[in-house]
Amino acid sequence: MSVRFRVAPGGKLTGRVRVAGDKSISHRSIMLGALAEGVTEVSGFLEGEDCLATLNAFRAMGVRIEGPRDGRVTLHGVGLHGLRAPSEPLYLGNSGTSMRLLAGLMAGQAFDVVMTGDSSLTQRPMKRVTVPLAEMGAVIETSPSGTPPLTIRGGQTLRGIEYQMPMASAQVKSSLLLAGLYAAGRTCVTEPAPTRDHTERMLQGFGYPLQRDGATACLSGGGRMTANTIDVPADISSAAFFLVGAAISEGSDLLVEHVGINPTRIGVINILKEMGADIEVINEAEVGGEPVADIRVRSRRLRGIRIPEDQVPLAIDEFPVLFIAAACAEGETVLSGAEELRVKESDRIQVMADGLQALGIAARPTPDGMIIQGGVIGGGEVDSHGDHRIAMAFTMAALRAQTPINIDDCANVATSFPNFVGLAHGAGIRVTQFED
């Protein structure tokens, strides 16, 4: 089925919204809950296709899971050695997080597993995990170009390694730490820049000893996890669309509720503030080891900036919509040091530059970023290339457009934000979804 959005120009965002649950935390709640001993209760779980792919993978490996129902999931954990061989390949859809984190976990099992995905996932690079996992003793086959399907041979003896990651990737870090649960000795992963640390926090929450020292996280194999209760906060990566939408549309005043503000995820707030946005973080609290807050945004004129490179890993999923903010800002915005954007669900540098140009914005892609001149957003046709975050970013662009924006290939919005259209409509965006 093909899904298109048509978004009428103009509007403003007011009121309160609670966006979908955090995708990264939802994936990890299933993985660790399934492998813990006892019954884990999750609330606020993101019922998007990506996290459901993870959930179904564990069901296929014999874990009894109730739900999801209204964001509630009950996992009857089987312990670290309680998984059973699935009868079929694990189909992980569009989800890079499922594929890369499971690669680490599956490397330590007694059985073989094949993992595959959709046309986007089967083009994404996996050597970043399979090479260090092989160093740990894992046996994993990929396509000749290092992409899925992955065939993981069970029954290997893993050993801990010290690994210096060549890129700032939470998926690589998490994959190796999860393999480390099954390895003899100590596994230490050092990152070149801080990346989201939900795996480390949640392992500790499940009682698994893990040490952190600066950029390095270490754990030793052979431990166990005890069931836990997890309240998943709203996803700052989903909130980001509404933060930018309210910042760019005159007369907006929006409260986004109960958003996860883990310091490794708040690049979007830091960058928007530097562009001059009026953002207030209020009602800060801590829920299950993760900080949360309400975020109030009022519209204000934005200015172009050079985005500090240290913010890039902290905002890595938010650049599609930050590019829309840049298109609405006065002057030039320059992003560099973000070559990882080229290997996300789409090539987010090229696809966003093409879409911005189609709307009349001067956007010049560079190998590791983009240079955008703020200007007047026209209207017209853009293609999201099946990338959920591109589709949602261009939906927000319509708030400042002159004529309607039609966005193609939007079905994958359901991977991370199933109720996006309903919430966006309720907050003041005139978006209509067509299915054919």
- Cα→Cα distances 248→52, 298, 303, 316, 435, Å: 33, 9, 11, 20, 29
Which residues are CB-neighbours of 74 under 8 A, at least 6 positions away?
39, 40, 41, 42, 65, 66, 67
Q: Which two tokens stand for residue 386?
A: 């099946």
| Nearer to ligand S3P (CB atom), residue 95 or residue 333 | 95
Angle between helices 170-180 and 96-107 (to 10 degrees): 20
| Nearer to ligand S3P (CB atom), residue 4 or residue 196 | 196
Least separation in angstroms between residue 426's CB and ligand S3P is: 25
Least separation in angstroms between residue 100's CB and ligand S3P is: 7
Whether the CB-CB separation of 120 and 386 falls below 8 Å is answered with yes
- Cα→Cα distances 434→4, 166, 245, 409, Å: 5, 42, 22, 10
For the beta sheet containing 332-335, the strands, ordered from the edge strand earlier in sequence to the opposite edge, are 332-335, 369-373, 363-366
Which residues are CB-neighbours of 110 under 8 A, at least 6 positions away?
81, 154, 155
Which residue, chain included where needed, has tokens 């059973």?
84
Q: Residue 274: which H helix or E strand, with range?
A: helix 267-274
Least separation in angstroms between residue 27's CB and ligand S3P is: 6
CA distance 361 to 328: 9
Least separation in angstroms between residue 168's CB and ligand S3P is: 7
| Nearer to ligand S3P (CB atom), residue 56 or residue 195 | 195
Given the residues 22, 197, 317, 409, select the one marked as catalytic: 317
Least separation in angstroms between residue 45's CB and ligand S3P is: 14
| Nearer to ligand S3P (CB atom), residue 169 or residue 249 | 169
| Nearer to ligand S3P (CB atom), residue 11 or residue 267 | 267
Q: Shortest Cβ contact with ligand S3P: which residue? A: 24
Q: Is the peptide bond before 68 cis (omega within 30 degrees of 0)?
A: yes
- Cα→Cα distances 269→24, 243, 266, 294, Å: 18, 8, 5, 12
Whether the CB-CB separation of 106 and 153 falls below 8 Å is answered with no
Number of H helices, E strands in the chain: 13, 23
Which residues are CB-neighbours of 41 under 8 A, at least 6 positions away?
72, 73, 74, 229, 230
Least separation in angstroms between residue 244's CB and ligand S3P is: 17
Q: Which amino acid belongs to residue 314?
A: L
| Nearer to ligand S3P (CB atom), residue 290 or residue 317 | 317
Least separation in angstroms between residue 4's CB and ligand S3P is: 24
| Nearer to ligand S3P (CB atom), residue 178 or residue 225 | 178
Report strand pairing: 290-298 vs 363-366.
unpaired
CA distance 105 to 174: 10
Q: Residue 415: which H helix or E strand, with range?
A: helix 413-416
Least separation in angstroms between residue 400's CB and ligand S3P is: 26
Active site residue 368: no
Least separation in angstroms between residue 24's CB and ligand S3P is: 3
The closest alpha carbon to 225, from 372, 84, 40, belongs to 40
Interacting residues toward ligand S3P by CB under 6 A: 24, 97, 169-171, 174, 195-196, 316-317, 340
| Nearer to ligand S3P (CB atom), residue 12 or residue 344 | 344
Instruction: Write out the catalytic residue numbers.
Output: 317
